[in-house]
Amino acid sequence: MTDDDPLTGLDDVPWARLQHSYGMADDVPGHLRAMQAGDWEGRYPPSAQLANHIVHQGTRSQAAVYTVPFLVRMALDPRLVHRHRFVGLLVAIAIGLDNNYLPNGYDPREDRAYLVNLRGEADDWAQWIGEAADDMQRKQREESCAQVLIDAEAVVCCYDAVREALPALAVLLTSDSPELRAETANLLAWFPESAATSIPLLKAFVADEGSPGAAATGVVALGLLGEPAAVPFIERHLDSPIVELRWASAFALTRFGLAGPAVVDVLTQVVARPPEETETMSFLSGSYSGLAAMALAETSEATTIRGGRRHADRPG
């Protein structure tokens, strides 16, 4: 490998000592090399095969965090194809399955607090292990406790590793590929602690974006970040002639408790007649109707914007 190879240093990682969902992670380098090559045999691309191992059903593994720098460098390498899939895998590494956090966004404080609590329970674990009936049970309990901690640490470390890469990845919002631009906007949606930087980038992206699905992704991302200051910009698209933007605006406004008749009407129409699914809108695998239904489910109790702003019959 040369210095400009995004997989430089791949063989320096102790993959055989790291875990993923199917055992030890010594097969990860092969998946990453296949992703770099851009071709494959069989039903699933190598990015999907790698995801199945390191974030199986949304479970972030110990090995996943070590793939982040390689995925970031591949995503930034214009020589490679299907780069949106690399960014999509980074989303999965950061949060697991997005349907677990839609339509209200992700709060990393919950996973961090869970990890702190686990570490604080070490004394209780020691007592439980010490009460084992025999050596076999004691070993099982030790392994069980260790695995719980490994898994919780993996969740936090994966998220933080991807967050550190956001400044470098933000340039992809101006890529020539609409799929890559959209997936990058999707990625920014899950990092509320970086909202101050991401919101101006997303606003500029939406304003200039020519792909309806990609622009809609940017509006949804603004909603998921949860900053009320973005509401006027989001509201502006509720009357758009582009159905994807109307839907995205309505979806995002429910995030803030704004669910007037105009919002409900747009969401109801999209459930009945959704836009065509494309790779430029990847939340919930691109299901406009599914996302609209999720947002509608929030509207019965969503009457005011967080922070005290009361909604009108029609946002404006």
Phi, psi of 5 (to 5 degrees): -80, 125
DSSP 8-state code for residue 242: S
Nearest CA to 188 out of 158, 168, 210 is that of: 168
> Please, what sign has the CA dihedral across residues 250, 251, 255, 259?
positive
Name residues of the chain where pLDDT drops below 50. Answer: 301-316
Alpha-carbon distance 92 to 108, whole Å? 14
Alpha-carbon distance 122 to 274, whole Å? 50
Alpha-carbon distance 117 to 114, whole Å? 5
Residues 132-150: pLDDT tens digits?
999 999 999 999 998 899 9
Q: How much is the pLDDT for 312?
A: 38
Residues 81-108: pLDDT tens digits?
999 999 999 999 999 999 999 999 999 9
Q: Identify the bridge partners of residue 23 per DSSP, sorted by sequence position.
A: 20
CA distances (Å), origin 118, targets 131, 134, 148, 286? 19, 25, 8, 36
CB 69 within 8 A of CB 38: no
The gap between the terminal CA atoms of the chain, to the nearest Å, is 56
Q: Where do the structural domains in the chain lie, given as residue ranges?
A: 108-155, 195-316
Query: Scanning the structure block, which residue is given the tokens 């010490």?
Result: 130
pTM of the model: 0.90
